[in-house]
């Protein structure tokens, strides 16, 4: 089964917790703090494997979790970091964040890799919090949470040339003749249900990849037939071979069919019409084809495609195929790659460690729930809570100072909070003390 779009859930590992510990050795009085840091959590990495051709592997396995880092140890020893989880994807895979729609990566080269969910850093042990005022602190940090997100993987076939045209115009037949591909060929519409890919090699040493695009008919943009679900695969192509059936066996007007296909391309993405099109007149071995071709040329001379190259061929007798391949290779040499994304660059969003900047106002909101408690929402605040070790009073006091420094105390007063009111951050509830 060919699968070219799927959504998966990825969750990076949490960093290991820091430790509160002290040196206790014979003949070493007042040994001081010795709690080590936690290990780094595992990240989720997508890596290209050129042996893959579809996203079939994700059909039944679409939740990926990396392991957490180990807790810090005594004597200042850092916990073991977790191994990264590497997920193999086929070349041509684009990655988008499902929630924001942000483009995270465009993976095209073999072994190309990108981190799509960063593992959390390990929490600091109490060895980092010693100071002249507090030489034996009972303060440590919990590990930073790993990034969790849902991402959409979309496969766009890596092809230089795309074959477009109505069903049964001879796309699959042409692909089978000029390449070693073995697509299913039949005398009925929608024989081809998935994109087929083949390589063309010329005598002069040049080569290029050709993809057959199925299911494109009038109304495809509105869901007719197979719809336009496979048109994403020609977004990477540089040259389009527009096949037009000149036989007239289906009593269709070749010129009308040509216009209908281009209309569907424009509805999907107007930028596709900027690609050079070579018009391929197919089935020229049939008796009425030459007459229909003459009428087609007369009509197209009055349109914007008047300067397009029109090449008559017959896949059965192989007439015109050599010239077609030579012209296609020449067109490819003269055509640079088209930008796949308009005004958008792939940017991998990695987890950011919490660093409070006094000049930057933290982003949080305060609202009251049905019980009257003041609930604080905000990524920075919630991450700060998750990294606080609630088992030690000194860590709680440090957490309170951090909240005060972020301006949460003043915001609670402005929201109407009074002494003794309940305040909630994530799953943690406490009383507001004014």
pLDDT digits (tens, 9 = 90+) for 81-135: 999 999 999 988 989 999 888 888 888 888 999 999 999 999 999 999 998 988 8
- Mean pLDDT, the chain, whole residue set: 84
Q: What are phi and psi of 413, to 5 degrees?
A: -60, -40
CA-wise closest residue to 384 among 413, 370, 405, 366: 405
Length of the chain: 434
Tell me the average pLDDT across 181-188.
53
- Ranges 80-84, 235-239, 337-341, 421-425, most confident: 80-84
Tell which residue, 183, 148, 182, has the closest CA to residue 167.
183
The whole-angstrom separation of Cα 284 and Cα 247 is 7
Structure pTM? 0.75
**Res. 220: pLDDT tops 60:** no
Could you tell me the pLDDT band of residue 191, with boundaries at 50, 70 and 90?
A: very low
Any idea what DSSP says for residue 275? S
Q: Is residue 13 scored above 80 in pLDDT?
A: yes
**Which SS3 state, helix, strand or coil, does residue 71 take?**
coil
Longest dimension (CA), the chain: 106
Query: Higher-confidence residue: 36 or 101?
Result: 36
Instruction: Over range 234-260, report the average pLDDT.
Output: 84
Residue 349 confidence (pLDDT) above 50? no
**pLDDT above 80 for 356:** no
pLDDT value at residue 342: 57
6/169: higher pLDDT: 6
Q: Does 31 or 285 have the greater pLDDT score?
A: 285
What integer pLDDT is reported at residue 120 of this predicted model?
93
Query: Helices (H) and strands (E) in the chain — how many of each?
Result: 7, 18
Between 14 and 337, whose confidence is greater? 14
User: In 10 A of CB 136, how many CB atoms?
Assistant: 14
Q: How large is the average pLDDT for residues 156-162? A: 84
CA 415 – CA 434 distance, rounded (Å): 13
Is a pLDDT exceeding 80 seen at residue 304? yes
Pairwise CA distance, residues 311 & 288, whole Å: 17
Q: With 70 as the cut, is the pLDDT of residue 187 above it?
A: no
User: What is the bridge-based pairing of β-strands 365-368 and 374-377?
Assistant: antiparallel
So what's the pLDDT on residue 324? 92
Average pLDDT over residues 185-192: 49
**Lowest-confidence segment of 133-137, 145-149, 173-177, 219-223 by average pLDDT:** 219-223
- The vertex-335 CA angle with 316 and 240, nearest 5°, equals 35
Q: What is the percentage of the chain residues whose pLDDT exceeds 70?
A: 87
Residue 343: per-residue pLDDT: 53
pLDDT tops 80 at residue 4: no
Q: Which residue, among 88, 3, 78, has the nearest Cα to 44 in the 3D structure? A: 88
Is residue 350 within 8 A of residue 119, CB to CB? The reply is: no
CA distance 384 to 425: 10
Task: Count CA within 13 A, CB hemisphere, residue 143.
Answer: 31
Distance CA 221, CA 265 (A): 8
CA–CA gap between residue 229 and residue 163 (Å, rounded) = 15
Q: Can you give the pLDDT at residue 308?
A: 86
Helix residue ranges per DSSP H, 149-300: 171-178, 254-268, 289-300
Q: Comparing 37-46, 103-112, 144-153, 226-235, which segment has the lowest mean pLDDT?
A: 226-235
CA nearest 52: which of 105, 94, 93, 86?
Answer: 93
Q: Is residue 184 scored above 60 in pLDDT?
A: no
pLDDT at 73 over 90: yes
Alpha carbon 200 to chain centroid, angstroms:
30
The more confident residue out of 251 and 336 is 336
CA pair distance 152, 308, nearest whole angstrom? 38
Q: What is the tens place of the pLDDT at every residue in 361-412?
A: 557 888 888 888 899 998 889 988 999 988 888 988 898 888 888 888 888 8
pLDDT at 226 > cutoff 60: no
Per-residue confidence (pLDDT) for residue 341, from 0 to 100: 65
Name the residue with tokens 């055509």: 335
pLDDT at 352 exceeding the cut of 60: no
**What pLDDT does residue 9 have?**
95
Give mean pLDDT, residues 330-335.
Answer: 91
Residue 63 in this model has a pLDDT that exceeds 90: yes
For 58, which DSSP code? Answer: G
Instruction: Look at the alpha carbons of 271, 274, 275, 277 in this order and tell me if their dihedral is positive or negative.
Output: positive
């Amino acid at each position: 089964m060919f699968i070219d779009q799927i959504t998966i859930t990825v969750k990076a590992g949490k960093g290991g917790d820091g430790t509160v510990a002290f040196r206790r050795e014979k003949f070493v009085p007042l040994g001081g703090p010795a709690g080590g840091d936690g290990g780094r959590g595992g990240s989720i990495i997508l890596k290209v494997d050129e042996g893959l051709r579809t996203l079939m592997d994700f059909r039944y396995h679409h939740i990926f979790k990396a392991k957490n880092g180990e807790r810090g140890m005594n004597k200042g020893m850092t916990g073991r970091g977790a191994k990264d989880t590497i997920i193999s994807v086929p070349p041509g895979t684009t990655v988008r964040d499902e929630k924001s729609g942000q483009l995270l990566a465009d993976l095209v080269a073999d072994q190309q890799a990108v981190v799509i969910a960063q593992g959390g850093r390990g929490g600091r042990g109490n060895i980092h919090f010693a100071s002249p005022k507090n030489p034996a602190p009972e303060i440590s940090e919990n590990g930073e949470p790993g990034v969790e997100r849902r991402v959409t993987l979309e496969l766009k076939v890596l092809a230089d040339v795309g074959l477009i045209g109505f069903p049964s115009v001879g796309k699959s037949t042409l692909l089978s003749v000029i390449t070693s591909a073995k697509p299913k060929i039949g005398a009925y519409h929608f024989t081809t249900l998935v994109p087929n890919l083949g390589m063309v090699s010329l005598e002069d040493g040049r080569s290029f990849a050709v993809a057959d695009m199925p299911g494109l008919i009038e109304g495809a943009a509105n869901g007719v037939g197979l719809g336009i679900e496979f048109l994403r695969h020609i977004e990477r192509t540089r040259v389009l071979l527009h096949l037009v059936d000149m036989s007239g066996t289906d009593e269709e007007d070749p010129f009308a069919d040509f216009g209908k296909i281009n209309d569907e391309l424009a509805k999907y993405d107007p930028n596709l019409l900027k690609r050079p099109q070579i018009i391929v007149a197919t089935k020229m071995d049939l008796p009425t084809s030459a007459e229909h071709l003459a009428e087609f040329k007369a009509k197209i001379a009055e349109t914007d495609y008047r300067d397009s190259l029109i090449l008559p061929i017959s896949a059965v007798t192989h007439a015109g195929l050599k010239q077609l391949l030579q012209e296609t290779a020449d067109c490819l040499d003269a055509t640079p790659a088209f930008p796949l994304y308009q005004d958008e660059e792939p940017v991998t969003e990695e987890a950011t460690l919490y660093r409070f900047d006094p000049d930057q106002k933290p982003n949080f909101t305060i609202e009251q729930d049905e019980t009257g408690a003041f609930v604080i929402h905000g990524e920075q605040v919630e991450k700060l809570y998750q990294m606080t070790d609630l088992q030690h009073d000194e860590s709680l006091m440090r957490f309170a100072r951090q909240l005060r420094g972020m301006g949460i105390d003043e915001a609670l007063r402005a929201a109407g909070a009074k002494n003794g009111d309940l305040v909630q951050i994530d799953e943690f509830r406490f009383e507001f003390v004014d």
